[in-house]
Structure 1
Amino acid sequence: MSKTAIITGGSRGLGRDMALSLAKKGIDIIFSYHSNTSKAQEVIDEIKQLGQDAIAFPFDANHHESGAAFIKSATAYLTKKHSSPNFDYLINNAGTGTFNLVENTTESQFNEMMNVHLKSVYFMTQEALTYLNTKGRIINISSGLARFSLPGMSAYAIMKGAIEVFTRYLAKELGSRQITANTIAPGAIATDFAGGSNKDADKAKMIASITALGRVGEANDIGGVVAFLCSDDASWINGQRIEVSGGMLV
């Protein structure tokens, strides 16, 4: 029986590439989407063309209670399909961004970043732990902005820094179950995230100028790293932050 990965935010961008990269390794996929059912269906179709099972359920990361409903839907599906609610990999990827200087950041913007990137991840993971198989993997998505600072991204980056701390605690607390927990921290990636600003030609040129490999990142630079962390080859990597940024601001 194939192993199963649960991915939040799998209908586009980094999450889509993660889902496809894992499916290419023979892993079935359950992923969340926010509201665009047609995009979710496109990813489901692509995964099935690779020979793996796929299904998607809605999840609103701005409301952490939605995570419990998502896990309930996922585990009910697995029980129906495999007579067990358990799965093997949890990838907390869903997110959005906000841009504002510290002096102008509103409480509403701060709370949204906290809800989406910290509170929902914490309680989604808590809900999922019961069903995560022995020797399972948890991969949380952070950001290069937790290491280097670019004006206007403080509220977002603070939450990503907290996720890195959370991941180390997961690694420590789940070691007795042989479950590993690691963080991937992408650099600037040209996706639709935060309005797709990294696709802008002038910004992409600026990013390239401060990146050792001389270009902006693409979604397919990240999915393979997630797939590696879910492989047997990565079984001794635990509690780590892996930056995938092409050498941005080194």
Structure 2
Amino acid sequence: MRVAILISGRGSNMAALLHAAAVPGYPATIALVLSNRADAAGLAVAQAAGVPTAVVESRAFKSDRDGFERAMEAEFAHHGIELVALAGFMRVLTEGFVERWRDRLVNIHPSLLPSFKGLDTHARALAAGVKLHGCTVHLVRHGVDDGPILAQAAVPVLPGDDEAALAARVLEQEHLLYPAALAWLAAGQVRMQGELAVVTAPGAQGVLANPLPAPAPLPTTDAWRVSG
């Protein structure tokens, strides 16, 4: 399946998806990296990897959100896009866009949803005193950080953690989790039951070990926590 990744900044999750998609047998091709900012550092990363890039400046559409999204969709059509992955894309999408891409629009969020929707998730987790934190890959619905959960990875909150330390540990899991969840979606291994996403990929119940072949070392089994 041909995937567009939307970014606004450095695109570290984008880079993880590019790495995964370069492995033979991965069921998705990253056909486009699109940013709403021309100065997004991730554009250079994508270009160095030989992936087509595009910029649709959101500032040019300040009072026309639908026009902004239609301009993005024109780029999608040009590149034959079938799935859209958000990777640090700092724009709230309209209900119309979300519905047009229903169950083909995926996001990663740095918390164990439905806890800590929105911004500053790591600071809020520390302030709440939770013992487990993590990240979630979900299909996008119109509400902020809302939608059927595809996968989650949990990390312990350790004594002495500050926001930076916790964020770094969660980000490691984001880079492992997102490629696996996108692969399930691209391979048709997600079945919807109402608003519940059921992952049908072999081994996707409970703990998943070694989900992808890769030239770099793969995570241990303890790294993976998935829903389904």
| TM-score normalized by the length of structure 1 | 0.47
Q: Deviations over 1:194-231 (max 9, x none)?
A: xx8137xxx86xx6xxxxxxx97355313322332332
Q: Deviations over 1:32-71 (max 9, x none)?
A: 254534531222321x2xxxx521325669x996864553
**Distance in 1, Cα, partners of 2:154 & 2:83:** 23
**Distance in 1, Cα, partners of 2:154 & 2:64:** 28
Helix, strand or coil at the partner of 1:221: helix
- Counterpart of 2:214 in structure 1 is none
How far apart are residue 90 of structure 1 and its match? 2.2
The residue identity in structure 2 corresponding to 1:137 is R
- Counterpart of 1:4 in structure 2 is 3
8 A Cα contact 1:141 1:183, kept in partner = no
Aligned residue runs from structure 1 range 76-225, under 5 A: 76-79=74-77, 81=78, 87-94=81-88, 120-121=92-93, 123=94, 126-127=96-97, 129-130=99-100, 132=101, 137-142=104-109, 143-144=111-112, 146-147=114-115, 150-152=125-127, 163=144, 166-168=146-148, 182-187=149-154, 197-198=164-165, 217-225=172-180
- Counterpart of 2:187 in structure 1 is 232
Q: Deviations over 1:138-191 (max 9, x none)?
A: 22323226448724479xx9xx99646x414xxxxxxxxxxxxx4544556xxx
**Distance in 1, Cα, partners of 2:154 & 2:92:** 22
The residue identity in structure 2 corresponding to 1:225 is A
Alpha-carbon distance change, 20 to 233 in structure 1, aligned in 2, over 3 angstroms: same
8 A Cα contact 1:16 1:43, kept in partner = yes
**Distance in 2, Cα, partners of 1:29 & 1:94:** 15
Aligned residue runs from structure 1 range 36-75, under 5 A: 36-46=39-49, 48=50, 53-58=51-56, 68-75=66-73
Structure 1: runs of 5+ lacking an equivalent: 96-115, 169-181, 189-195, 208-214
Q: Higher helix fraction: Structure 1 or Structure 2?
A: 1
8 A Cα contact 1:32 1:70, kept in partner = no
Alpha-carbon distance change, 55 to 240 in structure 1, aligned in 2, over 3 angstroms: same
Number of equivalent positions: 175
The residue identity in structure 2 corresponding to 1:140 is N
8 A Cα contact 2:9 2:88, kept in partner = yes
| TM-score normalized by the length of structure 2 | 0.51
Identity %: 10
Alpha-carbon distance change, 185 to 41 in structure 1, aligned in 2, over 3 angstroms: same
Q: Higher strand fraction: Structure 1 or Structure 2?
A: 2
